[in-house]
């Protein structure tokens, strides 16, 4: 079967495509963890996000957030990380398959980064709404 892309033609047989598929859920999970590990090593943003979110996590513990307040922050953190993983994958794909600088590549990268940014804002706003009143009560 012939697969045509913008930059050329790739020939892959059905067996080659099938060999790229994960055989079971455990293999899928192993690949996911490898992706997380690689992103952690190669992308500074993951390490910075982890440090920032750790501060909020420990502040929440010290200020006594409720289980539902914790889950709001946890869900948003997971969303930010998921969006950042997708953003990283999109950037890597563009950099390797379409390395030329173009307005389209810039638009795609900027739009993917905007998704991460919006989720980050949602996290920070939610944490401000949750943590500031608790902090003021302590004073």
The answer on 18 and 50 residing in a single domain is no
45-76 confidence digits (pLDDT tens): 999 999 999 999 999 999 999 999 999 999 99
Q: How many domains does the chain have?
A: 2
The answer on 121 and 72 residing in a single domain is yes
The answer on 56 and 15 residing in a single domain is no
Measured CA to CA, the distance from residue 58 to residue 73 in angstroms comes to 12
The answer on 67 and 127 residing in a single domain is yes
Q: Please tell me whether residue 1 adopts helix, strand or coil conformation.
A: coil
The answer on 59 and 76 residing in a single domain is yes
The answer on 31 and 99 residing in a single domain is no
- Average pLDDT of the residues of the chain: 88
Mean pLDDT, residues 107-129 taken together: 97
60-to-13, 44, 95, 131, 134 alpha-carbon distances in Å: 53, 25, 39, 7, 9
Domain of 101: which CATH number?
Answer: 1.10.287.3610
The boundaries of the domain holding residue 101 are 43-138
Residue 95 banded pLDDT, cuts 50, 70, 90: very high
Measured CA to CA, the distance from residue 129 to residue 108 in angstroms comes to 32
The DSSP code for 7 is T
The answer on 31 and 54 residing in a single domain is no
Identify which of 36, 61, 62 has the alpha carbon closest to the alpha carbon of residue 49: 36
The answer on 58 and 20 residing in a single domain is no
11-23 confidence digits (pLDDT tens): 556 666 566 777 8
Residue 112 banded pLDDT, cuts 50, 70, 90: very high
Bridge partner list, 11 = 2
User: How many Å is the Cα radius of gyration of the chain?
Assistant: 20
Q: Which residue has the higher pLDDT, 5 or 68?
A: 68
Identify which of 63, 62, 67, 53 has the alpha carbon closest to the alpha carbon of residue 123: 53
The answer on 48 and 30 residing in a single domain is no
């Amino acid at each position: 079967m012939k697969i045509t892309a913008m930059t050329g033609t790739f020939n892959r047989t059905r067996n080659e495509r099938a060999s790229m598929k994960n055989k079971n859920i455990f293999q899928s999970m192993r690949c996911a963890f490898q992706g997380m590990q690689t992103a952690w090593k190669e992308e500074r943003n993951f390490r910075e996000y982890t440090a920032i979110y750790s501060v909020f996590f420990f502040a929440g513990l010290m200020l006594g957030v409720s289980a539902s307040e914790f889950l709001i922050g946890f869900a948003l953190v997971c969303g930010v990380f998921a969006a950042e993983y997708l953003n990283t994958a999109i950037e890597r794909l563009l950099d390797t398959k379409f390395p030329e600088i173009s307005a389209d590549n810039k638009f795609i990268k900027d739009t993917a980064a905007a998704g991460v940014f919006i989720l980050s804002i949602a996290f920070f706003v939610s944490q401000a709404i949750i943590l500031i009143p608790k902090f003021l009560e302590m004073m």
